Amino acid sequence: MKTMFTPSIDELMCNRDYFNSFVYTTVEQAVQELEWRKANSNIKEYVTNNLNIDIPYQLKGEKNAVLGRQLASPNYELNRFSNEADKLTGFKKTVIVKHNDKFTPGINETKYHLGKIVFKNKNSNHQNTKSIMAVDFNQNAGKPMSEVNTIWGQNLVDFHNELLEYGIAKQEIGKINQFEASEWLSKSGKTAKEYYPKLLLLFLQNGLLFENFLMKEKAEATFTKEIFLPAFMKIFEETGVKPLIISFLPIESEENNLWNYYPDEYFEFVKNKMKLSEIMQNRVAA
């Protein structure tokens, strides 16, 4: 495979339009490209030679639409992903999750909203929200996600899985598969800088990644510049093809906090969790 010219990281970070056109593939082109690549032996050989671990069975043998998050939870972002993926004929929807990731709500907005659940009618104004504090941040910050418990005593992963099942039924968004990738990623590298090049290999032949890489917020910009882009550009330079990444949130609203919020109709479900906790505490106190 021939080496291709790539722009510099600084050029991409300084020009959002250039970044978007270089990194993202349109849905129509990505679907066609994936079909062509599945039969390409050169790409298959490259993936095999550069992975030190097997391709996850969850991403083998089918066309996959993939979202990557620490937990799978039915916020507006996941609902948007599901709706966009449903437009693709024959694609399975999968969320790659990482339950051993640390719960750091103080520095990560997405993790913050896994612990403080904000509810909003999508069409109401920004101030019209309700929220429930599901996790004591002081007690749980820094723990692996799998070891964090909610205020009512339920494991955080189990709670969001239960909320996901409720959301699937409530919104009729269809089945969402999960691949818990903690072990797979740890075998690919100890840090994101080490394992991310392996992760992106999965989107050469085995699926389409639905993702929006952010550049304004400092932590997100650092990730984009120092982890994502070097891995992405290395693959492109060595193969002449890009990992297939679809920007599924509207560019003008991708940094809107709405995507971390939950539909207003989920409020009573979570509120009842809090009520159950209060009842149990009162019984213990009595």
Domain ranges of the chain: 9-285
Q: Quick one: tokens of 269? A: 């479900």
**φ, ψ of residue 235 in degrees (nearest 5):** -60, -45
Query: How deeply is 209 buried, as exposed, middle or buried, from its count of CB atoms within 10 A (0-12, 13-18, 19+)?
Result: buried
Gap between the Cα atoms of 81 and 249, Å rounded: 8
pLDDT digits (tens, 9 = 90+) for 79-92: 999 999 999 999 99
How long is the chain?
286
Three-state secondary-structure class, residue 120: strand
Gap between the Cα atoms of 249 and 211, Å rounded: 8
Gap between the Cα atoms of 279 and 232, Å rounded: 51
> Taking Cα atoms as reference points, which of 155, 143, 147, 157 lies closest to residue 102?
143
The partner residues of 63 in beta bridges, in order of sequence, read 91
Pairing of the two strands 177-180 and 91-97: parallel
Q: Quick one: tokens of 174? A: 């269809």
pLDDT recorded at residue 27? 97
Q: Quick one: tokens of 208? A: 């389409």
pLDDT recorded at residue 284? 37
Task: State the Rg of the chain over Cα.
Answer: 20
pLDDT recorded at residue 283? 40
Query: In this structure, are residues 170 and 207 in contact, taking their beta carbons and an 8 Å threshold?
Result: no
Q: What is the 3-state secondary structure (H, E, C) of 181-226?
A: CHHHHHHHCCCHHHHHHHHHHHHHHCCEEECCCCCCCHHHHHHHHH
Q: Quick one: tokens of 35? A: 């079909």
The residues of the chain scoring below 50 in pLDDT are 1-3, 279-280, 282-286
